[in-house]
Amino acid sequence: MVLNETHDASLQSWVASANTSSSDFPIQNLPFAVFRRTGSNEAWRGGVAIGDQVLDMAAVHQLGTAKVLGTEVQAQVEAAAQSQLNTLMAMTPAQWSALRLALSRALRAGAKEETTLKACLVPQSEVEYTVPAQVGDYTDFYTSVHHATNVGKLFRPTNPLMENYKWVPIGYHGRASSIRVSGVDFKRPNGQLKTPDADPVLKPCSRLDYELELGIYAGTANGWGDAIAIEDAENHIFGLCLLNDWSARDVQAWEYQPLGPFLSKNFATSISPWIVTLEALAPYRTAFTRPAEDPQPLPYLSSAANSERGALDVQLTVAIQTEKMRAAGEAAAQITRTSYRHAYWTMAQLIAHHTVNGCDLQPGDLLGTGTLSGPTEAEAGALLEITEGGKKPLTLPNGEARTFLLDGDAVVFTGWCEKPGAARIGFGECRATVLPARQA
Ligand code: CA
């Protein structure tokens, strides 16, 4: 993906809040979400973030695209105005790119469209979001070798990293129906728990954890039976979001063999509302490297472009806000900071691998990267790793300690890219609070 005029770091918008250096949503970002005014009965529709505002794409569509953004993006605007973005995702990268260019030009300082488009802005503080696409299928990968090793040590001390890990992008099929947008809280799950000396019992999970991940939305479909070559893989990615793969560790430990996680993972998955497009992330591509002593990827998982710029440097944080902190008016306390660049497998490798057997990806399918732990303890993406399986409690700034999550705990992820010479590209946040379990 090449840089173009939409990436120019000096671009300013007529929406003043987009021009502050701390904004997640400058004019170089332009991510998509589905929204409506909070608490209203309005129809859900697509929107584009600009500063602290949402550009209402349904309102833009009603104005008449030809008048505002040009007839060449009419189909895209119509698709972006819908209550689910699958039709937009099904389009081609050239069509997505044309819409981005039209939006970038119309939102720039001095653009003649300012007067017309001003009427299509809604403050982000006044809106609520929903899952932005019909997610037909959700797949969760396991792309951090650091996470896989740390967790493997706890589950299998003598054999932490399975032989297949460095050859196969490991994944499993997750559950699409329980995906919820940031801000939707959920009940602690019940499940079968087994202690070494007793028969299993049905109880509320007592080792509830989060997993810091990115979600990758599939774009343009491949046909059933057709594999997507790694060289073409990124043409099938619409964009990325933050993703929390909530995990019931005690349920997982008992149920996971031999078929992998099931009820320990499928009760809730939280996603951030905004989808940051791959084009917006273009300045933050970095080289994909593999230690020389490790197996090199098989040819179908390798390409020159993937080696040169297959990885992405997205900064990620995890913060926890307990009920006590909330009552005292204290902000969530950051406990982890890491980057997506540490992943062992790239996005293109995940797409190529997922389809190599002829499996068809559909627009709106969601691929989780897996917990994005970095190489050090401060970069661990789950409590399981931070507390070494619950043995080493984490102390929060107010003195409270956690091994796993308690009822009332909110977990907040943020993500952004920044570097000199490029605009900051933010993801917003992914937040949800653990509610007490349903009576078992
Ligand atoms: Ca996961």
Q: What is the largest CA-CA distance in the chain?
A: 73
Residues 202 and 294 in one domain: yes
Q: Is 353 part of the annotated catalytic residue set?
A: no
**Residue 11 domain-assigned (yes or no):** yes
pLDDT at 390 over 80: yes
Distance 65 CA to ligand 1 centre (A): 41
Instruction: Judge if 79 and 155 occupy the same domain.
Output: no
Q: What is the mean pLDDT of the chain?
A: 97
Q: DSSP strand E in 219-300: where?
A: 237-244, 247-248, 269-271, 276-277, 285-286
Give pLDDT, residue 429.
98
Same domain, 339 and 416: yes
Q: What is the CA(370)–ligand 1 centre distance, in A?
A: 4
Task: Find the 215 Cα to ligand 1 centroid distance in Å.
Answer: 10
Query: Are the CB atoms for 418 and 354 separated by under 8 Å?
Result: no
Final residue belonging to a domain, choices 130, 155, 180: 130
- Quick one: 173 and 257 in the same domain? yes
Same domain, yes or no, for 292 and 423?
yes
Q: Is the Cβ–Cβ distance between 223 and 357 less than 8 Å?
A: no
Do 154 and 188 lie in a common domain?
Answer: yes
Is 440 inside a domain boundary?
no
Ligand 1 centroid–CA 57 distance in Å is: 33
The CATH code of the domain that includes 60 is: 2.30.30.230
What pLDDT score was predicted for residue 65?
A: 80
CATH code of the domain containing 278: 3.90.850.10
Whether 1 shows a pLDDT value over 80: the answer reads no
Taking the C-alpha atoms of residue 396 and residue 200, their distance in angstroms, rounded to an integer, is 32
Task: Answer whether residue 219 is part of any domain.
Answer: yes
Task: Summarize pLDDT for 164-206 with one digit per residue, the tens.
Answer: 999 999 999 999 999 999 999 999 999 999 999 999 999 999 9
The last residue of a domain, from among 75, 101, 130: 130
Instruction: Establish if 427 belongs to a structural domain.
Output: yes
Distance 351 CA to ligand 1 centre (A): 17
Instruction: Say yes or no: 158 and 121 in one domain.
Output: no
Query: Domain for residue 327, yes or no?
Result: yes
Give per-residue pLDDT as tens, 101-126: 999 999 999 999 999 999 999 999 99
pLDDT in tens, 138-157: 999 999 999 999 999 988 88
Name the residue with tokens 């799950």.
Answer: 189
Domains in the chain, number: 2
- 314 pLDDT exceeds 80? yes
**Do 152 and 107 share a structural domain?**
no
Task: Give phi and psi for 164, each to the nearest 5.
Answer: -70, -20
Question: What is the average pLDDT across 5-28?
Answer: 97
291 within domain boundaries: yes
Do 274 and 384 share a domain, yes or no? yes
Q: Which of 146, 147, 342, 354 is catalytic?
A: 147
Beta-carbon contacts of residue 430 (< 8 Å; ≥ 6 apart): 182, 241, 242, 243, 244, 270, 271, 272, 412, 413, 414
If asked whether residues 306 and 428 sit together in one domain, one would say yes
Among 106, 130, 154, residue at a domain's last position = 130
Q: What confidence tier does 2 reach under pLDDT thresholds 50, 70, 90? A: confident
Q: What span, in angstroms and rounded, lies between the C-alpha atoms of 331 and 319?
A: 9
| Alpha-carbon distance values, 290 to 285, 302, 330, 400 (Å) | 16, 11, 42, 40
Q: Is 149 among the domain residues?
A: yes
Residues 298 and 345 in one domain: yes
For residue 337, what pLDDT band results from cuts at 50, 70 and 90? Answer: very high
Is the residue at 356 inside a domain? yes
Distant-in-sequence, close-in-space partners of 411: CB < 8 Å, separation ≥ 6: 210, 244, 318, 319, 320, 405, 431, 432, 433, 434
Question: What's the average model confidence in pLDDT over 278-297?
Answer: 97
Angle subtended at Cα 50 by Cα 367 and Cα 58, rounded to the nearest 5 degrees: 80
**Full residue range of the structural domain in which residue 125 is found:** 5-130
pLDDT digits (tens, 9 = 90+) for 59-103: 999 998 877 999 999 999 999 999 999 999 999 999 999 999 999
Report the separation in Å between the CA atom of 140 and the middle of ligand 1, taken as the mean of its atom positions.
6
Q: Are residues 108 and 148 in the same domain?
A: no
Report the separation in Å between the CA atom of 265 and the middle of ligand 1, taken as the mean of its atom positions. 8
Quote the CA–CA distance of 82 and 44 in Å, as a whole number. Answer: 7
Q: How many helices (H) and strands (E) does the chain have?
A: 12, 26
